[in-house]
């Protein structure tokens, strides 16, 4: 699982059905001892922790890896790090890295690799949990209107979700600071102002401002951002009665979204986090089965 666009509509649906089954109580345990390791070269709370939980639920042996105390700090390459752990016995890697398409460097690796996020490129497990959350809510993707709002240019979430949602039959629109959209080719002209978008969409997906990826020309005061591009209480009142709010988190409260709306009736933000475990269980099981690893499903 490197990028969601590698998967057909049918394959995505199969993963969704597996994730939903896990959320409804289905269990699966690996038949043999399997070692996995989560290599996170960028900070993470939700993704790394939910992969940890998903791996343990599947009966996998998690080999800890802390980049700050590894030979990466002595100049070891990503390939050599992965090859070393593979030689020791690790059979699956979940990797987050700041470099886009870092996985192209791992062509000689025999173990399974799951992309936990590559630069501004792809975030397939976040995409699957987002699709799961939407599907649970509406039971379909066909003709749903989804608005993705915010720092789109730097968002691997926006990149993965836009592709997958269109493939599944949804209509995807974008909003946010126009100066931040220069390199986001997947928008395909579907840009609307937030105030034009807000009353049209069934799903409002807000994105974190990724300050760590911004240059000086993209600096904007947080208060100004909230007033022009954030979900204020006034804007929330204009949403469709059954429309939902999503955010991949971490959340900049009072910036992308008013703090009172983070856990409002429309919000599915913490439901997304809950679904992250089940979506990642489905991804891990699928990746290992493709390597010939068998599971027991009571």
Known binding residues are 46-47, 74, 96, 123, 126, 156, 208, 249-250
Distance CA 54, CA 21 (A): 14
DSSP conformation letters of 230-287:
SB-HHHHTTS-TT-EEE--S---BTTTB-GGGTTSTTB-HHHHHHHHHHHHHHHHHHH
Nearest to 156 by CA among 196, 97, 218, 201: 97
Q: Tell how strand 244-246 and strand 203-206 pair up.
A: parallel
CA–CA gap between residue 157 and residue 101 (Å, rounded): 14
CB atoms within 10 A of CB 14: 14
DSSP-derived secondary structure letter, 138: H
Q: Which segments are annotated as binding site for carbamoyl phosphate? A: 46-47, 96, 123, 126, 249-250
Binding-site sequence positions for L-aspartate: 74, 156, 208
Q: Percentage helix, strand, coil, to 5, in the chain?
A: 45, 15, 40
């Amino acid at each position: 699982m490197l990028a969601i666009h590698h998967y057909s509509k049918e394959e995505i649906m199969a993963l969704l059905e597996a994730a939903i089954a896990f959320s409804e109580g289905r269990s699966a345990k690996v038949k043999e001892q399997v070692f996995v390791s989560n290599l996170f070269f960028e900070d993470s709370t939700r993704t790394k922790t939910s992969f940890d939980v998903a791996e343990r639920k599947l009966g996998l042996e998690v080999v800890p890896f802390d980049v700050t105390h590894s030979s990466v700090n002595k100049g070891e390459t990503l390939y050599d790090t992965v090859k070393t752990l593979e030689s020791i016995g690790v059979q699956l890697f979940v990797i987050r890295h700041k470099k886009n398409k870092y996985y192209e460097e791992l062509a000689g690796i025999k173990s399974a690799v799951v992309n936990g996020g590559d630069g501004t490129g792809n975030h397939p497990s976040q995409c699957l949990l987002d699709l799961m959350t939407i599907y649970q809510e509406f039971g379909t993707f066909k003709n749903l209107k989804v608005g993705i709002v915010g720092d789109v240019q730097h968002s691997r979430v926006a990149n993965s979700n836009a592709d997958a949602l269109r493939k599944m039959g949804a209509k995807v629109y974008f909003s946010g600071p126009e100066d931040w959209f220069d390199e986001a080719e997947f928008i395909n002209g579907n840009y609307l102002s937030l105030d034009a978008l807000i009353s049209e969409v069934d799903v409002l997906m807000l994105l974190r401002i990724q300050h760590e990826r911004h240059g000086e020309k993209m600096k904007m005061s947080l208060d100004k951002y909230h007033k022009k591009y954030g979900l204020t209480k006034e804007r929330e009142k204009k949403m469709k009665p059954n429309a939902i709010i999503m955010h991949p988190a971490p959340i900049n409260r009072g910036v992308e979204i008013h703090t009172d709306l983070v856990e409002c009736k429309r919000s599915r933000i913490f439901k997304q986090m809950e679904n992250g475990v089940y979506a990642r269980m489905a991804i891990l099981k699928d990746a290992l089965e493709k390597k010939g690893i068998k599971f027991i499903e009571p």
